[in-house]
Amino acid sequence: MTEITSFASIPAIMAICYFVVEAYKWFITDNDGEIHDAKANAFIPVLCGAVGLILGVSTYYSNPNVIHSDNVLAAAATGITSGLASVGVRQHISKNKKTED
């Protein structure tokens, strides 16, 4: 059972980071639906990495069997990479939306 929960922790961190960024994007979007501030848009990967780091470390300390890491640095790296993977998923989804239009 621990293999399933440790496997599910990475997509769970990705999903949480994805929705945090979508909420952030909703706050910084203008009335026309576009983000006109380049710095706010460039902050999205940093935000995903930071949220992933927090989730990875907090998961390691709250329930170390859920995240597959031997130490806190490995848990932090797992969280950061999961957060940054959600950026890639988000870019892929937005690219596919643009090609459909």
Token pair listed for 21: 């960024």
- Extended strands (E) in the chain: none
Tell me: pLDDT of 100 over 70. no
Other C-beta atoms within 10 Å of 79: how many?
28
Predicted pLDDT of residue 61: 93
The reported pTM is 0.82
* pLDDT category of residue 3 using cuts at 50, 70 and 90: low
3-state secondary structure of 93: helix
Are 65 and 5 a contacting pair, CB within 8 Å?
yes
Judged against a pLDDT cut of 60, whether residue 93 lies above it is answered with yes
Mean pLDDT, range 22-49, rounded to an integer = 85
Average pLDDT over residues 79-89: 92
Q: Is 87 helix (H, G, I), strand (E, B) or coil?
A: helix
Model pLDDT, residue 50: 96
Q: Which amino acid is at 58?
A: S
Question: Do residues 76 and 57 touch, judged by C-beta distance below 8 A?
Answer: yes
